[in-house]
Amino acid sequence: MSGTRPSVSLLVSTYNWPRALELVLESVRQQRVLPVEVVIADDGSRDDTRRLIERLTPGFPVPLVHVWHEDTGFRLAAIRNKGIAAARGDYIVQIDGDILLHPAFIAAHSAFARRGVWVQGSRALLNASCTARLLNGTQRDVTGLSAGVQQRQNALYIPWLSRFIRGPRDGMQRVRGAHMAFWREDLVRVNGYDERIEGWGREDSELATRLINADVQRRNLKFAAVAYHLWHTSANFDSVTRNHQRLERTRHERLVRTELGLDQYLGREQFA
C-alpha cells in the first residue's frame, strides 16, 4: 500500500438509538472523501434500527452493511468482531453510533494512516442542550463554535498541527473505543477484540495493549479528524472491575492474541 491511501471501512457500533445513528450517517453523507462502506455493528437493537438502515440504504452514497446479533447483554467486543469480519476495506476507522463527523474526517484518517500503527482519535463533547437540539432537528449541524461544545480544543480543525501531536504511547492512558483506527490485517493478527470482555469497559484498552505487544505502535490524531460526541447518561460500570483484571493479565503476560476473538467469523457471510 506504499504510496497510496488505504480503502477505508467505517465501523459504527450502535444499540437502540436510531435517531443518533441517523445523525451519524448524515455526517457520513457529507464527507469530502467517502469510505468504501459503512459497517453498522448492532449489539441487538430493536427493529426500528433495522428499518432506519433499510430506509437510508437505497440513496446512500456507499453501501450500508448491517451486522446484528441477538440482545443478550452488552457484547460490544463480539459485535465489533463481527463487523470487522464483514468489512472489506483494508483500513478500519471505528466510531460509536453517537459520534458526529467533521466533513474532512475520513480524508484525515486516510492521510494519517501508516503501516505498523494504530490510531487513537479525539472527540469534543456535546452537552445535553446541544444534543437535544440536534436530535429534535432545531439545530442542523455542529461546529467548534456551536453553543454547548465542551472540550472545545478537540473541535479545532488545524490539520497541519496533527503531525506534532504525541500524547500517550501505551494502551492504558486515554484509550477511547469511540474513535480509533486500525489496519484490518493487524486486527486479524491479534484476533480482534477479546469476547470474554462483556459489559461496559476495557475492551478497547485490552485490544490496544495486545496491538502494542505485537509491535503495532500507537499514534494520536488531533486537529484533523474532528468528531463530536452526543451527550447521554452514564454507562453501567458494574463490569469494569472484572474486565480490568483481564486487561491487567494481558499487560503483565504481554499477550498478543485472544483465544476468543475475530477468527470465529472470518470467512463467514452470516453473522447472527
**pLDDT at residue 268, as a whole number:** 52
Instruction: Give this prediction's pTM.
Output: 0.95
Answer whether residue 268 is part of any domain.
Answer: no
Answer whether residue 194 is part of any domain.
Answer: yes
Answer whether residue 136 is part of any domain.
Answer: yes
CB-based contacts of 192: which residues, under 8 Å, 6+ apart? 80, 81, 84, 85, 207, 258, 261, 262, 263
Answer whether residue 88 is part of any domain.
Answer: yes
Give the structural domain span for 14.
8-260
**pLDDT at residue 3, as a whole number:** 54
Answer whether residue 2 is part of any domain.
Answer: no
CATH number at residue 44: 3.90.550.10
pLDDT digits (tens, 9 = 90+) for 34-66: 999 999 999 999 999 999 999 999 999 999 999
pLDDT digits (tens, 9 = 90+) for 114-134: 999 999 999 999 999 999 999
Answer whether residue 272 is part of any domain.
Answer: no
Answer whether residue 226 is part of any domain.
Answer: yes
Answer whether residue 1 is part of any domain.
Answer: no
Q: To which residue does cell 449489539 refer?
A: 43
Number of domains into which the chain is organized: 1
